[in-house]
Structures are given as C-alpha cells and as structure tokens.
C-alpha cells in the first residue's frame, strides 16, 4: 500500500507541471475596439484557438502547428478560410504561451504586410483537416487562401480585405473576390 501511495504521489508530482504547460488560456481587451479576445493554447495538440468577439470584426481562428494549417471563420462574411501556416512567420506555441503568461505583448515582431488571397475553389470535405476545424467551419462555405509576402503586388482590391489581429503582435489581411467577400 505504501508503494501505491508513493507511486501515485510521483505521478501527480511529475504530471501536474506538464498539465499546466499543455493548456493555457487568457482573455485580453482589444485596444481601441469593443470586445475581447480569448486565446487558448493546447501544446499537447499543437493548437492555438482564438475567439475574437469585436463587434466590428468578429472571428474565430485555429493555428494548427502540427499540420501547418491556419483556419479563420469570419462572421461578417459568413465564410471560413484555410491556409498554410508559415511557421517561419508566426510565433511558436511556446512564444504565444509565454506572451499569455507574462502579458508582455510588445516585444514580438509584427506580421504587418502578411496577406492571404482567397482562392475561388470551395472546400467540400473538411474531415482531412481535423475535428476542430471541421466543427468551426461546418455551417459556412470554406475556401483555401494563398499567402503573399510583404512587398508582393496584389491584384486584389484592398477594400475586399478582412483584417485579423491576434493579440498585439500578429496582424493579417484575408482578401478575396469570391461571393460574399
């Protein structure tokens, strides 16, 4: 019995710190806007989920680091967008976790100029992209988008762009000429 208690204590001792690192969630007021942003980091699944309830630009997002996939559901457009997650540009899961933990948002480089152009072909089957993305995008049309680097000329009307801000260090534009955009 004594061995059982000792081994149970060791399991709790070693697993408790790792459980803290697996799931980090925080809520932030958005600067200059009406609303909040809730960010949840699940390091075990390699995912960050975002809920931005800004009344002017409400959106949900998933950063899937294991599958290099970015998904955003844009409520004002009633559309979901999937894109390749360029890990050279985006902060790591560890950096996002530290940011949420320390509330130090200003020292991360901005991704200003990072633009995605929505492609006209609709995604018909969301199952290959995982349950989280499938659930988020279930009831709205879903499209792929292609990333453009800063300085790349766009043939897209800038007025067709939806701006997405993650905390204070990630800004993206999702642009397109598809119906509803």
The model's pLDDT over 84-138, given as tens digits with 9 standing for 90+, comes to 998 888 888 888 887 777 655 444 444 455 889 999 989 999 999 999 999 999 9
Rounded Cα gap, residues 63 and 162, in angstroms:
18
Residues 116, 145 contacting (CB under 8 angstroms): yes
Residue with tokens 């000792």: 6
Taking only the tens place, the pLDDT of each residue in 127-150 is 999 999 999 999 999 999 998 865
**Dihedral through CA 118, CA 149, CA 65, CA 48, nearest 10?**
-70
Q: Output 16 or 42, whichever has higher pLDDT.
A: 42
Over the chain, what is the mean pLDDT?
Answer: 76
Q: CA geometry: angle at 28 spanning 93 and 54, to 5°?
A: 110
Half-sphere exposure (CA, 13 Å, Cβ side) for 91?
23
Beta-strand relationship, 69-74 and 59-64: antiparallel
The domains of the chain are located at: 18-175
Separation of alpha carbons 154 and 148, rounded Å: 8
């Amino acid at each position: 019995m004594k061995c059982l208690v000792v081994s149970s204590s060791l399991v709790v001792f070693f697993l408790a710190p790792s459980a803290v690192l697996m799931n980090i969630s925080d809520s932030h007021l958005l600067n200059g806007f009406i609303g909040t942003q809730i960010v949840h980091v699940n390091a075990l699944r390699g995912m960050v989920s975002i809920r931005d309830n800004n009344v002017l630009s409400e959106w949900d997002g998933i950063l899937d680091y294991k599958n290099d996939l970015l998904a955003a559901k844009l409520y004002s457009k009633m559309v979901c967008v999937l894109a390749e997650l360029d890990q050279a540009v985006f902060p790591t899961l560890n950096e996002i976790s530290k940011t949420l933990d320390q509330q130090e948002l200003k020292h991360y480089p901005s991704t200003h100029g990072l633009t995605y152009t929505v492609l006209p072909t609709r995604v018909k089957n969301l199952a290959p992209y995982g349950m989280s993305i499938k659930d988020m995008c279930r009831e709205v049309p879903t499209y792929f988008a292609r990333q453009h680097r800063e300085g790349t000329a766009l043939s897209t009307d800038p007025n067709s762009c939806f701006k997405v801000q993650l905390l204070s260090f990630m800004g993206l534009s999702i642009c397109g000429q598809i119906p509803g955009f």
